[in-house]
Structure 1
């Protein structure tokens, strides 16, 4: 009897979202490594130049030889200068390409993340996105140069041994000292870096929350509370960052001190050898220069270890975001071209993450294509949740959400929402022009269509009287416009392109009675033949629908023609 043993692929050191851009830039990194290698080889020339001058030129007063050597050294310096520029250029190019590819992938992941699996506040997510800069700085720095410099420690020490013999023991003793300090400080650096990043994300969270709701903070008098949170977050971040910098400084300073001790030690030992005629003056000068070059890469490695710790912490945070579940099916998604408009909720139940009770339970509902339905009920009854599930913003805990007989989880989420028009309770506009907020750079929505839906939603009534009209630039969230104006623009955005399915959640809550009545009149003809799900507390909006559902406690309490349901509700209130 034989058994099939599943083969588990070894876990990669780097995730594909980072590894693949690095592989695509392999040729550039090879050029950087080649340039760094050549620079290190040319660096050895200066010490040999010094040795030759002291040992051959000075004793023999060979001026012509000095001129020739100087010309040669000048050529070496020019080549070194050019190679250093090319190395910096290639490092920047590779870093920019990785930043572009990883940044694009990360933002696409942010847009596709499942809302019920999202971790952390808006500020925390913003902070994680900001950590992309840490990754970019690492790969756009001289990281590859420091790696290439390490083997040249051995080559440089070998050259010192050839020239100065026992002198090599001095810089050789410094190498394990610097490495030992780096190894001993690394665990503390790793721990403090993670703590510092966590404190930084907390500080970012308080900042984003305050800036995003500054008007509410002022009006409600929440400034003191948020100031205390900010002060605590800043103090915590300052403490953890201070510890991180101190530990990092120990490693870097040790490398710097080792460089000085190496130079001084070579001179001291070399003087003894010089008196014993075991080394020449030129050899001693060359060894002193080479000792600095042998220990200098260790300082770069100490700095690199500090950067690597911060980069590893940033990588873990970003990779955690990249590993979070995405919207849509695990396999190939269906890409619909059009919807007829049939909607069905089958035995639907839903619970928000962390909530003790279900928001919806056992919902069964069928809406035919072209049918206009209103959902009414008390605050918190689950009406808005139904809208979110229809749009695929959340996945049901149990049951199905079907459009034209297909589970919405099988659709490509971007295409699903492109075929639906939605105006939700939070009328959030984006920084940019009013035109951009309505059209959203969607294909098929030209200026004629924009003006049509703007007139329908009532946007043209106030935008047509402004000098720059639809090119008026809005700030974040549409600040500067009234609630009713923002709501009007959101409605125009939902109506643009004539989607077959429309989801409106309190579309006129910020409008006055006259504006609302005018809007209802304009929408009467526009909504004919389309599937409309309208969530409202306003009886006046029920003129737009033919069927009314009453939602109570996450269940459908009543369902029927508009007039019948309203009469039953009126009798219930009278009783």
Structure 2
């Protein structure tokens, strides 16, 4: 399902018209709705027959058959409603799966700079909008669209039984109700946006405090943060009250108009019955039809008012759609076997949010199996350069070639076995250490254990009660030294035996033992794979085949 739809289409009635696009089983639902609404005429017809024919003639046997027929119709209607609910629930689940999968797919394939503009919490909050959209595009709103045309069928039958006066009254009441709903909807939309803005402020505050809880405690800011949170909570409670109050108005007013419909039909129909223009059976049928006629309009009013939630949710999904895609996922992957030759040809690059180019006419040649160091005089520029080589960022001009393959023509979502990138701060995924080493693929077990042994993780992890089965992730690995974490990340990278290894100041967060082991490992890997490393370590510079510094947007070679 193309999530870009939510960026292009706006408006309640536009969404209603577009609903069948999302409903692959819309024809089945249409047939079920036709059956439900046609069978809904059974009770008015039965009442009319009872009052006009059966009671005056005392036809008991006919009454029994009529009741039996009505019970059959009632059971059929109930079965059809159950089937329709089952279908819509299944479509809701499928809708949530498709949209959620598309959103996550956009995240993992987006340009890194776009993703990092907002925190992970903000992105997860946007994903929650899928539940709101599901209730509209694959829930009761679609049933409403199917039931609404049948409201006019009930109006026509009521007019036929009770005369044009009854039909005109019912239509007028529905029109007045929708006009009032339009005013409520405008007010609800304004207050809902205020609530949303306040919720964003409160959410950002909580993320800020919880992520910096150590600083809050060290600076004794607990009382200040608590007072600020109380103010935000107070404002949020007021906005919540306004939104809930206005959002419930269509239901309350709908109950009033529903009663008005009933008594209006009784008054007008009763007057016509007294004058002999309609029968008592027709009057009874009209009272039931008035409720069936008005029910879809009550549902329409509720959805119309709360459509402001849908617009906000579509805006959140649009924020995900606006993330630029890193590469075309339909593009071919790099060849399975590469030698590891890297060429940067006349690279120019301007980071997002900056007006100044950080690279201008930059060139670099790394032959396969060579080790090249980028001096980290600037902490930011070497990282940007590695990101360009790995394809995380796209150059404004120029090309990045791997074995003569232009990276811009290939999908960047799968480099395993070809290129591996390890940042300065290693990250462990939620799971066990063993699962992190194997990348959750049991087939990599032996290779992962060999890599871990090479980095002497056996002796370190043996001190943990569960060893390789120790749970990490979700900040549960803070008990591990950073050097050990980096060793795990290195072993994980070596598990897939990459031909190109990109290292961003990996050794700078290591302890002395881990750094010593790291130098030994680089000596072993040199000549067996291509290594590009951002580091200020003189020992690594001495080991490297060449050392470069970034000066005025270009690479200047310091050692060859």
Name the TM-score class by shorter chain. 0.7 to 0.9
**Aligned-residue CA RMSD (Å):** 3.2
Partner of 1:474: 472
**Aligned CA distance change for structure 1 residues 336 and 229 (closer, same or farther; 3 Å):** farther
CA positional deviation for 1:514: 2.3
Q: What is the rounded CA distance, in whole Å, between the counterparts of 1:476 and 1:390 in structure 2? A: 29
Q: What is the rounded CA distance, in whole Å, between the counterparts of 1:280 and 1:21 in structure 2? A: 42
**Aligned CA distance change for structure 1 residues 73 and 194 (closer, same or farther; 3 Å):** same
CA contact (8 A) 1:123 1:209 kept: no
Partner of 2:131: 133
Residue range with higher mean Cα deviation, 547-556 or 424-433: 547-556
CA positional deviation for 1:234: 5.0
**Aligned CA distance change for structure 1 residues 544 and 76 (closer, same or farther; 3 Å):** farther
Q: What is the rounded CA distance, in whole Å, between the counterparts of 1:280 and 1:22 in structure 2? A: 42
Q: What is the rounded CA distance, in whole Å, between the counterparts of 1:198 and 1:157 in structure 2? A: 43
Report whether the alignment pairs 1:112 with 2:109: yes
Q: What is the rounded CA distance, in whole Å, between the counterparts of 2:217 and 2:239 in structure 1? A: 31
CA positional deviation for 1:201: 4.2
**Aligned CA distance change for structure 1 residues 411 and 442 (closer, same or farther; 3 Å):** farther
**Aligned CA distance change for structure 1 residues 294 and 312 (closer, same or farther; 3 Å):** same
Partner of 2:446: 448
Partner of 2:400: 401
Q: What is the rounded CA distance, in whole Å, between the counterparts of 1:188 and 1:418 in structure 2? A: 57
Q: What is the rounded CA distance, in whole Å, between the counterparts of 2:245 and 2:49 in structure 1? A: 43
Matches within 5 A, 1:309-348: 309-328=308-327, 332-333=331-332, 335-348=334-347
Aligned mate of 1:31, from 23, 28, 33:
28
Report whether the alignment pairs 1:266 with 2:290: no
CA contact (8 A) 1:377 1:552 kept: no
Deviations, residues 72-124 of structure 1 (Å, cap 9, x unaligned): 22212211221111111000111111221222122111111112344544333
Structure 2 residue runs of 5 or longer lacking an equivalent are 1-6, 11-16
Deviations, residues 147-173 of structure 1 (Å, cap 9, x unaligned): 122122211112112222233333222
Residue range with higher mean Cα deviation, 99-108 or 357-366: 357-366
**Aligned CA distance change for structure 1 residues 322 and 381 (closer, same or farther; 3 Å):** closer
Aligned mate of 1:164, from 162, 165, 175:
162
Q: What is the rounded CA distance, in whole Å, between the counterparts of 2:221 and 2:489 in structure 1? A: 29
Aligned with 1:415: secondary structure?
A: coil
Aligned residue-pair number: 546
What TM-score, normalized by structure 1, do the two folds share?
A: 0.85
Matches within 5 A, 1:411-426: 411-416=410-415, 419-426=418-425
Matches within 5 A, 1:5-404: 13=9, 23=21, 25-26=23-24, 28-118=25-115, 120-165=118-163, 166-212=165-211, 214-215=213-214, 218=217, 234=233, 238=237, 240-328=239-327, 332-333=331-332, 335-380=334-379, 382-404=381-403
CA positional deviation for 1:176: 0.8
CA contact (8 A) 1:47 1:286 kept: yes
CA contact (8 A) 1:424 1:506 kept: yes
Aligned with 2:336: secondary structure?
A: coil
Aligned with 2:414: secondary structure?
A: helix
Q: What is the rounded CA distance, in whole Å, between the counterparts of 1:80 and 1:223 in structure 2? A: 60
Deviations, residues 233-268 of structure 1 (Å, cap 9, x unaligned): 655655555444444333343332211100011122
**Aligned CA distance change for structure 1 residues 344 and 203 (closer, same or farther; 3 Å):** farther
What TM-score, normalized by structure 2, do the two folds share?
A: 0.87
Q: What is the rounded CA distance, in whole Å, between the counterparts of 1:237 and 1:464 in structure 2? A: 50
**Aligned CA distance change for structure 1 residues 476 and 397 (closer, same or farther; 3 Å):** same
Greater RCO (Cα-Cα under 8 Å, separation 6 or more): 2
Aligned with 1:301: secondary structure?
A: helix
Residue range with higher mean Cα deviation, 366-375 or 198-207: 198-207
**Aligned CA distance change for structure 1 residues 502 and 128 (closer, same or farther; 3 Å):** same
CA contact (8 A) 2:19 2:142 kept: no
**Aligned CA distance change for structure 1 residues 12 and 398 (closer, same or farther; 3 Å):** closer
Q: What is the rounded CA distance, in whole Å, between the counterparts of 2:206 and 2:550 in structure 1? A: 38
**Aligned CA distance change for structure 1 residues 199 and 556 (closer, same or farther; 3 Å):** same
